[in-house]
A and B are shown apart, each in its own frame.
Chain A
Amino acid sequence: NAGVMQNPRHLVRRRGQEARLRCSPMKGHSHVYWYRQLPEEGLKFMVYLQKENIIDESGMPKERFSAEFPKEGPSILRIQQVVRGDSAAYFCASSQGTPYGYTFGSGTRLTVV
């Protein structure tokens, strides 16, 4: 069981470019969550998805950010027209749902230059 796989581990983008972050959940997990962590801070919830459905996107910025979890393939977090403030570590987690714990991936560290 490979756990939650995120790629890339590190991503550098210039301002205005697009960033695409991928997350493959653990086998058997149908719930995917994305969190963002700024330096020296805790994790901030962004979005919760199940296959082909966005369940809760209350933590997603209204513009430039989108997420999907298609029937086949990984979950994708997409950031359009990146700005320096988007630089952060983005973590994906998967679970079987409440009351189980989450399994986190190693994260994607996005740097916008």
Chain B
Amino acid sequence: SQQGEEDPQALSIQEGENATMNCSYKTSINNLQWYRQNSGRGLVHLILIRSNEREKHSGRLRVTLDTSKKSSSLLITASRAADTASYFCATDPLEGKLIFGQGTELSVKP
């Protein structure tokens, strides 16, 4: 079964609002990563958070990691229509084998 499970599966918001996506996983990890995929395109690496980190920022992105609950969240602030995409969390339980969740499909309406 998939290591990472995103929640919600789909999210629709208005431009300017914040979007929060959650990810839960099952095993111990070295790090957790978030990726974005535009329709029909490859994945773009957004941010990596190590297992000993609790929070990380990159521009309008904020990622938190709670290893005791085996969960992470991705917050996109002040969303834009261009943020419309699928977002995947991926966990690195063993070197060389990122395991992806099913993704959250984000739609940002102008």
Contact = CB atoms under 8 A, between A and B. Distances in A.
B69 interface: no
A98 B30 contact: yes
Contacts, number: 61
Interface string A61-103: 0000000000000000000000000000001010001111111
Contacts of A98: 30-31, 92, 95-96
Contacts of A103: 45
Contacts of B2: 42
A105 B35 CA distance: 13
Given A99-B30, A103-B45, A106-B42, A33 B102 contact: no
Interface string B33-72: 1010000011111001010000000000000000000000
Interface string A17-43: 000000000000001010100000111
A41 B100 CA distance: 10
A98 B101 CA distance: 19
Contact of A56 (B41, B43, B92, B96): B96
A89 to B, nearest CB: 8
Q: B interface, by DSSP: helix, strand, loop or mixed? A: strand
Contact of B102 (A31, A42, A97, A105): A42
A99 B48 contact: yes
A93 to B, nearest CB: 8
A5 to B, nearest CB: 11
Given A42-B2, A43-B88, A101 B48 contact: yes
B42 A91 contact: yes
A103 B92 CA distance: 15
13 contacts: A42-B2, A42-B100, A44-B100, A48-B96, A91-B42, A93-B43, A98-B31, A98-B95, A98-B96, A99-B31, A99-B50, A100-B48, A102-B33
Interface of A: 31, 33, 35, 41-45, 48, 55-56, 58, 91, 93, 97-107
Interface of B: 2, 30-31, 33, 35, 41-45, 48, 50, 88, 90, 92, 95-103
